[in-house]
Every structure is written in C-alpha cells, then in structure tokens.
Amino acid sequence: MNSKLSEREMQIAMECCNGKSAKTIAEELGISKRTIDSHKTNIYRKLGISNNIELIHKLYNLK
C-alpha cells in the first residue's frame, strides 16, 4: 500500500486512523482543511474505499 500513497497521503491517513479531525490535522501541518479533504479523497480513491472505517481496516490489515 505504501507504493500507492504519497508520503503526505500516508501521513494524513495515519492521522485519520488516530481519530484526528481534518481541521486538527490541517492546523498541525500548517495547511488548509480543504487540502486535507483533497488528500483524503485521493487516499480513498487509490485504496478503493469510501470511509474512515475502511481506511482503518485497510491500514491495519496490511501491517
């Protein structure tokens, strides 16, 4: 899966799995919430998923 996601996408995916909101992640990374939302859309598309629950399952089942 790491080859599918960019380094930034993987960082955001892990933060989402840790329960952080897009707003919190954006503030911590110094970028806009809209950018986080865009990255999440790309993450979901690349992994063929549609929500955070599936993201958590995908990330932790592949480790």
- The per-residue pLDDT string of the chain (63 residues; one tens digit each, 9 = 90 and over) reads 556 899 999 999 999 999 999 999 999 999 999 999 999 999 999 999 999 999 999 888 854
Q: How many CA atoms lie within 13 A of 52 on its CB side?
A: 12
Second CATH level (architecture) for the domain 7-61: Orthogonal Bundle (1.10)
Nearest 10 degrees: Cα torsion 32, 28, 47, 62:
180
Query: What's the pLDDT at 62?
Result: 57
Q: CA gyration radius for the chain?
A: 11
The residue extents of the domains of the chain are: 7-61
Query: What's the pLDDT at 63?
Result: 47
Q: Which two tokens stand for residue 49?
A: 């998923």
CA 28/CA 48 separation, integer angstroms: 27
- In 3D, which of 55, 49, 63, 44 has the Cα closest to residue 15? 55
Q: What is the pTM of this model?
A: 0.86
